[in-house]
Amino acid sequence: MVILRWLDGNIEKIIILVNYTVMAAIIFVEVFRRFLFSEQAAWSSTIPIYLFLWVVWIGCAYNVKIRAHLKFDELRTRMPYPAQFACLMLDAVLWIIFSIIVIVYTTEQVILARDNFAIVQGTDNVLQWWFYLATPLAFTLLIIRVLQNVMHDLAAFRKGEPLQVKANIFGE
């Protein structure tokens, strides 16, 4: 239970940190090799781009989690309490609909890449679908984060507590 709670609080940060570190290391080492030894791995310009998919889409889920993604805070803070709640619920519905669309179509892309044994350019055996899997997984995580926010908002609304309509970018 403690491990699950810790993962719930940190999974996005871990995935982003690991992928960003690997991206930076590949780029640093390969720039170093290119300028000092006049050689470079053929995959060094493609793998970081694929890793960036993980950073971007998991970052999107994280920003939804902390409520820092695509909102009009100034307008919402001036709205009446029921209107704030209605906007939060509308956000949730729109995020879920959008995420389902993304999951359906990107899962098709993952399956297509897997079935065709699509290989990352410059490699002999690194499959593209491993990286494409980032999008449907991240949007599944995004739905989980939206549902967590909805549960929090419903509890706050029932108790008459202030709703979290402003982004909290410095922590949960």
Mean pLDDT of all residues in 105-112: 97
Does residue 167 surpass a pLDDT of 70? no
Does residue 154 surpass a pLDDT of 60? yes
The rounded distance, in Å, linking the Cα atoms of 76 and 70 is 12
Q: What is the mean pLDDT of the chain?
A: 92
Stated as kind and residue range, the H or E segment containing 171 is none
24-76 pLDDT per residue, tens: 999 999 999 999 999 999 999 999 999 999 999 999 999 999 888 766 777 88
Least confident of 98-102, 159-163, 165-169: 165-169
Percent of the chain with pLDDT over 70: 94
Which residues, in sequence order, are CB contacts of 37 under 8 Å at separation 6+?
Answer: none
Residue whose tokens read 């100034």: 74
78-87 pLDDT per residue, tens: 889 999 999 9
Residue whose tokens read 């995420």: 99
The pTM for the full model equals 0.89
Domain ranges within the chain, ordered by starting residue: 2-159
β-bridge partners, 138: none
pLDDT of residue 68: 85
pLDDT of residue 70: 67
pLDDT of residue 169: 60
Mean pLDDT of all residues in 4-32: 95
